Homo-oligomer: A and B are copies of this chain.
């Protein structure tokens, strides 16, 4: 049996010079053909000979050398804390896929390591990560956060084109891409209103964060448009966990305000919705028959496995990642950015809890 381990290409170092020699042309000709320059004129015949040589020798371009010679690179850096957080990992996927389409590579630098470092140390890691990426001569940097918030980026990041994803810098000097929380909140509330609900409880997150602010605004927007007066008694804040949702839901269900208990619950995230499910079931109520529930975030592992499956608003992680790469591409191409902060829609995913 023939030696099947390695085609000719395996012997490291088939270079353009080898291809040139094999095709009987100069190295430059090979370069011209491979980079398909229109300005240079190479006859169809030799072009064909060269491509054939490439094939038989198993030539593989050396991306590093190419970057060195051409003074530009095919790489974007992605610095992020989200590698661990299964939550927002789809940002990576979106960015990765888009980068792949653009024939670019993503160098991912994780800034989260070991548990519970102090902030100062984390900042140091971020700077180190950016430094490393700059050493790789990336063409630009994506900076992605686990949850939508204001961040302070290391200063050196400003040396090259940068796009923030799922976060924004307090000064507002860097282009950023964030979810349209408000639109999502409106959409969810509208859905409940459309189902005939008028007393809609809202279980909110820590009211200081952008997600809470936006989602609540959207809730108000929808009520206002529908001409329903908001009832402050229907709005509570809870810990962003299943337990928090459980407690908050009990509070709302026990409460018999001026017009009785809510007939629907809009939970500002899916984990809280998970807890709310428990509270509702303990109350002997059925979802969605007795009470409707809508979540937020679309954490698949929760939303798709709750019984009944949870109708929820999705955070557009993948889209944000892709848009980030696109934005970075225009930035590095020198095109001016139209909007400094781009918002991406949060679509409603209909399942069976409404």
Contacts and interface: CB of A to CB of B under 8 A. Distances in A.
A307 B242 contact: yes
Interface residues of A, number: 57
Given A84-B90, A96-B108, 4 more contacts: A5-B158, A62-B137, A246-B307, A301-B302
Contacts of A106: 108
Contacts of A6: 158-159
A278 B302 contact: no
A305 B83 CA distance: 21
Interface in A227-242: 241-242
Contact of A64 (B64, B158, B271): B64
A86 B83 contact: no
Contacts of A51: none
A128 to B, nearest CB: 9
A56 interface: no
A9 B159 contact: yes
Given A107-B107, A108-B108, A246-B307, A136 B302 contact: no
A145 to B, nearest CB: 16
A159 B108 contact: no
B305 A241 contact: yes
26 contacts: A6-B158, A9-B156, A60-B134, A62-B68, A63-B137, A64-B73, A64-B137, A65-B68, A86-B87, A86-B89, A86-B300, A97-B113, A100-B110, A105-B107, A107-B107, A242-B305, A242-B306, A242-B307, A243-B307, A271-B305, A274-B305, A275-B305, A278-B307, A301-B301, A301-B302, A302-B302
